[in-house]
Amino acid sequence: MEYFMMNKWVDYVITEVRYNNERSHIVAFKCWRHIGAELIGPDIRSRADIINAIDNENLVFITEYKGEDGKWEKGGDVGIVMVGNEKFLRTDANPETRDNLGNLPEL
């Protein structure tokens, strides 16, 4: 997989997602492990896995997507936004009650 070259400030790259029926939560993520100058994988990870990795393991996730020229481009940094007592995965800080990682393709 050709991808946007980055320094080792990121642990995982997310390239595709699957939403629940209500489209409020992402239930599956296609993730590539960033090691050195390579992306290893992909693996399919759950929402709980991603939240745990960010919260408890301090791992860094970003999104990437294919640009119009077919090359991979960096999307956004994935973070957790608390709305009430619920955690949402987002690439922005909007306090909406749904996950949002931009316009990634769906699994």
Query: 44 by DSSP, 3-state: which?
Result: strand
User: In 3-state terms, the chain is what percent helix, strand and coil (to 5)?
Assistant: 10, 50, 45
pLDDT, tens digit, 9 for 90 and up, residues 7-23 = 458 999 999 999 999 99
pTM, entire model: 0.89
The count of C-alpha atoms lying within 13 angstroms of the C-alpha of 22, restricted to the half-sphere facing its C-beta, is: 5
Q: Is the pLDDT of residue 85 over 60?
A: yes
Q: Is the pLDDT of residue 93 over 70?
A: yes
Task: Spell out the domain ranges in the chain.
Answer: 12-90
pLDDT of residue 8: 56
Rounded distance between C-alpha atoms, residue 52 and residue 103, angstroms:
23
Is 14 within 8 Å of 64 (Cβ atoms)? yes
Q: Residue 26's closest CA among 3, 51, 61?
A: 51
Rounded distance between C-alpha atoms, residue 6 and residue 66, angstroms:
16
